[in-house]
């Protein structure tokens, strides 16, 4: 009873702690430092106290004859032995599964691309800005190889904006499923962008050099500002089909097929713009960007 209650209590107490910290943050309270630490200590102490109370509750009262009959004792001992043997077998099976699914990559010495040199730093008629703020997400994304560059052009019809985001993981650095949880579908709504429903979510983009690999196509809006988004996720040079990042079943299937951390390197490419693809597909900038991505296997 105590062993079964422990994980249930741990989940419930940590949920309560997370809820409390979220409510405090919503009330403009700085939850870093003492608040974060002391709520953790309080949850640990309270959980231990509840388990201690449960142990005392199920303990035999003083004076009760606790000597079991031999037959009952043998039966309970046999049942406990079987339970323990089955538990150990399951534990060994799970350990072996994760061993083979998380084995270190034999190709972990692959050359990491210099993304700063991949994308053009200038283009005729366009102003170029490199966004350094994305490096704050390095620990979340589990990679330092990041780049986001925005190109702006003033035209008679208004400003044209094209943003290119690149992220690279060398072999064995991150699991496929963990990278798949950081798509625009999962991350953008949390920063104010609203995903608009579209009849087509995969699109083969036409270019003068031929069609591109099928892209995941989205349309987001932040108030009245649109953002057309196309993104690709490559694993070991192969384009992966996009899965719902909020579906545990889909992510587990992806992890099972490709391993929780396997030998393939990964590349994530996102192109976004306030204009449809057809508005800038023939622009020399687009051709330069796509040509620069080809050495990465795009």
Query: pLDDT tens-digit profile of 101-116?
Result: 665 554 455 688 899 9
Comparing C-alpha atoms, which of 130, 209, 215, 190 is closest to residue 165?
130
pLDDT of 160 over the 90 cut: yes
pLDDT band at 151 (very low <50, low <70, confident <90, very high): very high
Q: Which residues of 254-269 are buried (b: 16+ CB within 10 A; e: fewer)?
A: bbeebbbbbbbbbbbb
* Least confident residue range of 31-45, 133-147, 281-295: 31-45
202-203/215-222 β-pairing: antiparallel
pLDDT score of 264: 79
What's the pLDDT score for residue 68?
Answer: 56
Structure token digits, residue 101: 């699914």
Q: What is the pLDDT of residue 229?
A: 95
Coil/strand/helix, residue 202: strand
Strand, helix or coil at 128?
Answer: strand
Q: Backbone phi, then psi, for 54, in 5-degree steps? A: -65, -40
What is residue 162's predicted lDDT score, i.e. its pLDDT?
96
Q: How much is the pLDDT for 78?
A: 73
**Contact call for residues 115 and 164 (beta carbons, < 8 A):** no
pTM (two decimals): 0.63
pLDDT at res. 148:
96
Q: What is the pLDDT of residues 213-223, one digit of tens each?
A: 889 999 999 98
């Amino acid at each position: 009873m105590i062993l079964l209650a422990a994980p249930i209590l741990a989940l419930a107490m940590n949920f309560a702690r997370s809820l409390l910290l979220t409510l405090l943050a919503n009330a403009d309270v700085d939850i870093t430092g003492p608040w974060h630490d002391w709520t953790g200590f309080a949850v640990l102490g309270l959980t231990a106290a509840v388990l201690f109370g449960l142990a005392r509750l199920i303990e035999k009262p003083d004076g009760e004859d606790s000597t079991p009959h031999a037959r009952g004792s043998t039966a309970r001992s046999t049942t406990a032995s079987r339970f323990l043997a089955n538990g150990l077998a399951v534990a060994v099976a799970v350990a072996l599964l994760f061993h083979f699914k998380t084995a270190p990559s034999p190709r972990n010495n692959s050359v990491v691309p210099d993304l700063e040199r991949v994308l053009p730093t200038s283009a005729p008629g366009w102003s170029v800005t490199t966004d350094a703020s994305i490096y704050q997400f390095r620990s979340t994304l589990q990679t330092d190889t990041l780049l986001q560059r925005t190109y702006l052009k003033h035209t008679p019809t208004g400003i044209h904006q094209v943003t290119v985001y690149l992220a690279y993981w060398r072999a064995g650095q991150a699991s496929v499923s963990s990278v798949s949880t950081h798509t625009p579908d999962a991350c953008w709504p949390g920063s104010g962008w609203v995903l608009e429903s579209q009849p087509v979510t995969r699109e083969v983009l036409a270019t003068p050099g031929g069609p591109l690999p099928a892209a995941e196509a989205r349309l987001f809006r932040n108030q009245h500002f649109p953002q057309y988004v196309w993104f690709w996720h490559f694993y070991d040079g192969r384009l992966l089909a996009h899965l719902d990042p909020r579906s545990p079943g889909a992510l587990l299937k992806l992890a099972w097929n490709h391993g929780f951390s396997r030998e393939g390197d990964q590349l994530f490419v996102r192109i976004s713009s306030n204009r449809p693809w057809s508005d800038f597909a023939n622009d020399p900038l687009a051709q330069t960007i796509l040509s620069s991505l080809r050495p990465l296997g795009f």
